A and B are shown apart, each in its own frame.
Chain A
Amino acid sequence: MAALAEEQTEVAVKLEPEGPPTLLPPQSGDGASEGSGGTPNNGPNGGGGGTVAASSSAGGDGGTPKPVVAVSAAAPAGAAPVPAAAATAPGASHDRQTLLAVLQFLRQSNLREAEEALRREARLLEEAGAGAGAPGEVDGVGAEAASALLSRVTASVPGSAVPEPPGTGASVATGFSGSAAAPAAPGKVGSVAVEDQPDVSAVLSAYNQQGDPTMYEEYYSGLKHFIECSLDCHRAELSQLFYPLFVHMYLELVYNQHENEAKSFFEKFHGDQECYYQDDLRVLSSLTKKEHMKGNETMLDFRTSKFVLRISRDSYQLLKRHLQEKQNNQIWNIVQEHLYIDIFDGMPRSKQQIDAMVGSLAGEAKREANKSKVFFGLLKEPEIEVPLDDEDEEGENEEGKPKKKKPKKDSIGSKSKKQDPNAPPQNRIPLPELKDSDKLDKIMNMKETTKRVRLGPDCLPSICFYTFLNAYQGLTAVDVTDDSSLIAGGFADSTVRVWSVTPKKLRSVKQASDLSLIDKESDDVLERIMDEKTASELKILYGHSGPVYGASFSPDRNYLLSSSEDGTVRLWSLQTFTCLVGYKGHNYPVWDTQFSPHGYYFVSGGHDRVARLWATDHYQPLRIFAGHLADVNCTRFHPNSNYVATGSADRTVRLWDVLNGNCVRIFTGHKGPIHSLTFSPNGRFLATGATDGRVLLWDIGHGLMVGELKGHTDTVCSLRFSRDGEILASGSMDNTVRLWDAIKAFEDLETDDFTTATGHINLPENSQELLLGTYMTKSTPVVHLHFTRRNLVLAAGAYSPQ
């Protein structure tokens, strides 16, 4: 927690008005700071701990400095002995650990000579031998931990001849020493077989204790019988146990190499599991050998994170009594070691209530995970002298738009100057200053606002559909500028294409030789530098080496971000139509990226399970948001730029605080990987869409699910609220655009204290009433949706003939 405090002061220091506003990395450079960016309080996962996964793709991008270690999958407490061991290692032995780590690596890579040489150099022969022999010794444990980390790193890069920068493994390991120590028993490290994949075995060590494999089916069916015979009110709650127990018992059988028992156990009971676990079960079913467990991510997720269940006290007592009576130690052990049972007092939940909330890879979110305060209000708009026609603006306001997106825009009236009580302090996150052009744009925006159509169930927006023809199934990402003048498409052939959809063509700046000829004193110098000859409606940006999965325009329309399978995020200038920066950090495909609504910052998320916050002028990420257990599929900034929401393939949505990198909300309830996110314009609500075709609505302040919109039959690819938040538009792979009544959806929320405290929600089954319209396209999946400033819907997708 010390890191947190330090960070805040540091940020405060940076807020001096004259300096360029930056949100600097909490500390510069060394490994420890990398850790603290993501981990000071991985609240939801029980405070700290973490494993390092998949760092630096050694072979890939050799030349660039690559100090960043991917801190991924912040493992919840208790799981990994790795951080624990690291924590016991004194900081002084840092260097030695580094050496040991390198040695370990060399040994694994069969580089005997190098290893010998290094040993002689370091005079470590004896110690290392001792370390390996006696795991109890502090150094040895450290080495082991480091090697564990390293081996995991290298495991993901088999055959790479380039050794890791020696700093990474060890420094991260020590980095965790500052964070809360995991409570796992360090003694277990000793029992681990170190030879080949120590980390996995460490993770699996718990499975060593072995019951009679033939009894497993009996145990499970006994419990099943008990649960099915229990009272109705408890049955639903206790049924939650089936899935995690099934998984862990199966894995235990596999780990202990009872393949046939495991197979028959799986055959017998997999049908009992809820259908939304199908995908995970499929992965599980292919896991039939102990060797397979090494490096299987899903399996690691199960082992490194406790499955969270919410059960009422009564039900829990019932279960406990039963297990004790039956002396059913096998199940009891699993419950204790691998499950986290979040007990609450009060009525047990109904089946519907439970079904609404479960479905994620690691169970529900713990209640305390969603307790921290979130400043979801909007920032005060900067005062801009509105030119003459602000009378109109005012008149419009008088008529009463209750939910105007930016009610504090006009500088008249004391009321509008009042700070939203839920808004963060204006300079909580240092934001870039407005340029003149930005102010102009804001004024334009205001003028457009006066012409905005007021939407509602009786006044539906028109939808203009932009079809990408001849895309040959290659369109992977679309973005539209806020003023709807440009459309960018990311394609599977690695290109990014920018279209102008207004008569204004895209002009780039002239060549340097031509620029020198221009009279720099002339008034219209900004016009003169543009090259009219090459102006066109379409500009193609070449640079990526893999499909472009994310694209985002900067609010000022000067830049474009794109993220790609090649692991980079690129920043393009829309003045010169060239690439300015390639941000390297994710070493795996980057699925999404988005600019902050205030520019300057951006967020990216990818296959390495972390989301990263960047500033355009830093080549390293400012924050790493680690905690998801699977790919981060989509990322969105909160309208006040203080928070970032991420949707993941682990079927959770997380909200992260940009200031300190904490995870402040975990939303569970989706039954499939999440593919789209959007905040309501007032910042209070979040809508998420997943492959299961459902759209879920969340109240950010209370941390509750407040609605479920059913209707789509395939992945919801795009979501967007209208400018005033009355309508939610959703676009999907099922070739439809649907419009939903957002006002009604958020009406009369159950936000009483009880609901808030327990998180028991009763969702009304009113999707059909909320659905205002369904519009089929002609076999064109709807990849992107956008509301223009006048509330016209722009939708985009590529025609894909069947």
Chain B
Amino acid sequence: MAEEKKLKLSNTVLPSESMKVVAESMGIAQIQEETCQLLTDEVSYRIKEIAQDALKFMHMGKRQKLTTSDIDYALKLKNVEPLYGFHAQEFIPFRFASGGGRELYFYEEKEVDLSDIINTPLPRVPLDVCLKAHWLSIEGCQPAIPENPPPAPKEQQKAEATEPLKSAKPGQEEDGPLKGKGQGATPADGKGKEKKAPPLLEGAPLRLKPRSIHELSVEQQLYYKEITEACVGSCEAKRAEALQSIATDPGLYQMLPRFSTFISEGVRVNVVQNNLALLIYLMRMVKALMDNPTLYLEKYVHELIPAVMTCIVSRQLCLRPDVDNHWALRDFAARLVAQICKHFSTTTNNIQSRITKTFTKSWVDEKTPWTTRYGSIAGLAELGHDVIKTLILPRLQQEGERIRSVLDGPVLSNIDRIGADHVQSLLLKHCAPVLAKLRPPPDNQDAYRAEFGSLGPLLCSHVVKARAQAALQAQQVNRTTLTITQPRPTLTLSQAPQPGPRTPGLLKVPGSITLPVQTLMSARAAAPPQPSPPPTKFIVMSSSSSASSTQQVLSLSTSAPGSGSTTTSPVTTTVPSVQPIVKLVSTATTAPPSTAPAGPGSVQKYIVVSLPPTGEGKGGPPSHPSPVPPPSTSPSPLGGSALCGGKPEAGDSPPPAPGTPKANGSQPTGSGSPQPAP
């Protein structure tokens, strides 16, 4: 019989303790066990009944989620007064906590500082409902426009990459749940799975791997050309836009093989020509592709990894190795490889172990030039602490000797000297935090020298610094939540001329920013600052206006130490006509006491002010302001940007009429009044 899916019919009832608690809260102290039992049965039944009614409202409201208002209407059906005050759309007010063998559901009520609320600018009025038309299908074909979902969702790409025989068309693959519900025991279960090959292949035998067709439409070809040209061209603004497009556009699946080939060929050519700039651009493309949430790169990793590896370990990447900063490229590419390993390494393809082997081999080799040596170490170091611990630390002494022989010995060549210098600082940078964790605190120069040879003393001082930094970080747990996702943020941090302790520039730009150069700089500039007095506020303000830097005024105020609740408000001045979006990140209670040894009770607040790009601000307030909740660059409802031209923030401008996107330029356009296709 139809038992494939065993029913999950719960006979859950509320615990009778709950009844007692409720009774106590009502002022009834003594309540009999028997009464409790009766009450729980009754209450559980009524709750289930109401939930079932509420479900009806959810269905009729054409929603997938039960909301509090559904419950209200269900109560109304029973002629019960609804619960007032629970009108959140998504919010489930109860939080769960457990500990000491007890489970607790509690209602989270944050303390809100009234003055904060009063002083923050009012949020923008939520947008009104509006209608937008687009072509879902044109004579049976779905155009690849941002309004439509990507032709192949990521899961499917993954499925295709890993289990090519099971590939199916989007939307048609899953009839499993229906089978379960509908026909109890129909034998057709296996049939639906293999059946749906694209109509073109109807005649082909079923077991064959379907031939994938990579036909690009004219629009896609144009797009490909534009993007690749912009990516390697000379205009930085265009490049940023192109990279943004690669990183966010949903419909690039079809073009992936071309991009991948473009990158690998590009690296091959430019390494030979020692064209550092182009190599950097290409690596940025890889980064953008990796960042695109709709792409699954597994199929193309075999092309990408060699290209990226080349940029890490190549003997020469630029024409003038003594002047050019090819080290940054190596760092960046090393980080990319680490990311690839993290995403795609499986037990089958062993990417990580193969990469590790390659790096180690080239490092161990005596004749390896300093550049390659640097790349290998950087690549290994980026793979994580474990790799550093097992592969780098044991060789520190040996490597230290080699560095010393270059630095202290007779001057052979300037290039070697620079190389050795870089390798040294690289080793110090990566090893120090690991050692700080591994070794117990008393850092003794001699002990270090004994263990690590000539690098010992330097390492020791770095470890001391790392420890200090770790302590500082523990104090500011939430620092990493500072994310700035503006396309091209130019970050400045100035301090208001105020007496009192100066705050160090504690700025961390997360790696997700599309500008690698900056990322590199900031990564290097992460010199640990001195611990600052606890109640400090950082105001980080970013604006994408690259031209004018005058707008970036921000004030930083330090409130009196000790006063946990700060009354200061961000003072933003000379902000152009656009409303800044202010996000308050409070770390007041989140730091567990054990990890915050310094400055107990310290309150840190970060205020992130992000401004929409100035292009828009200058054009007057946009007619359709973007949705309020931060981050301000949250994708517009219908997704990514238009391909070329136009602002990336598609959601801000009124969407194009159905006929206007490139993909269906041949279609009848005209002001949204649909006409049949000719």
Q: What is A's interface to B at a CB cutoff of 8 Å?
A: 57, 156-160, 239, 263, 266, 270-276, 278, 281-283, 285-289, 291-292, 296, 351-352, 355, 451-453, 459-476, 484, 487, 489, 491-492, 497, 499, 501-503, 546-547, 549, 565, 588-589, 591, 607, 631, 633, 649, 671-673, 675, 691-694, 710-713, 715, 717, 733-734, 736-737, 739, 765, 768, 771-779, 781, 783, 788, 790-795, 798-801
Contacts and interface: CB of A to CB of B under 8 A. Distances in A.
A75 B314 CA distance: 85
B637 A777 contact: no
Contact of A781 (B7, B62, B142): B62
B63 A713 contact: no
Contacts of A503: 671, 673
A671 B182 contact: yes
A296 B667 CA distance: 56
10 contacts: A275-B7, A286-B49, A292-B45, A355-B183, A453-B676, A468-B131, A472-B89, A692-B181, A778-B639, A783-B62
Given A285-B9, A691-B59, A465 B135 contact: yes
B200 interface: no
Given A282-B52, A774-B171, A693 B59 contact: no
B59 A713 contact: no
A713 B175 contact: yes
A275 B3 CA distance: 7
B178 A778 contact: no
A273 B7 CA distance: 9
Contacts of B138: 462
Nearest to A289: B41
B147 interface: yes
Contacts of A460: 137, 139-140
B675 A790 contact: yes
Contacts of A476: 60-62
A365 B192 CA distance: 31
B178 A275 contact: no
A283 B45 CA distance: 10
Contacts of A778: 147-149, 638-639
A490 to B, nearest CB: 10
B79 A156 contact: yes
Given A451-B676, A791-B676, A157 B79 contact: yes
Given A462-B677, A783-B62, A799 B638 contact: yes
Nearest to A159: B79
- What 7 pairs between A and B have smallest CB-CB spacing? A460-B140, A465-B136, A790-B676, A463-B136, A470-B127, A286-B48, A463-B137
Given A460-B137, A692-B182, A501 B130 contact: no
Contact of B61 (A288, A492, A712): A492
Nearest to B137: A463
A669 B3 CA distance: 19
Contact of B1 (A272, A281, A484, A788): A272
Contact of A467 (B56, B638, B677): B638
Interface residues of B, number: 83
Contacts of A673: 59
A647 B160 CA distance: 41
B186 interface: yes
B5 interface: yes
Contacts of A671: 181-182
Contacts of A694: 178, 182
Contacts of B137: 460-463, 737, 773, 775, 793
Given A465-B136, A473-B61, 18 more contacts: A266-B9, A270-B9, A282-B52, A285-B11, A286-B48, A286-B49, A289-B41, A355-B184, A461-B140, A462-B139, A462-B667, A469-B130, A473-B67, A473-B89, A497-B129, A547-B60, A589-B73, A710-B182
Nearest to B250: A778
A462 B135 contact: yes
B357 interface: no
Contacts of B196: 768
Contacts of A733: 62, 64
B133 interface: yes
A672 B136 contact: no
Nearest to A274: B2
Interface string B468-498: 0000000000000000000000000000000
B172 A774 contact: yes
Given A288-B41, A453-B677, A792-B675, A275 B181 contact: yes
Contacts of A270: 7, 9
B155 interface: no
A163 to B, nearest CB: 16
Given A473-B65, A631-B56, A713-B177, A274 B184 contact: yes
A739 B142 CA distance: 13
Contacts of B69: 492
B129 A469 contact: yes
A464 B135 contact: yes
A777 B676 contact: no
B674 A484 contact: yes
Contact of B182 (A549, A693, A799): A693
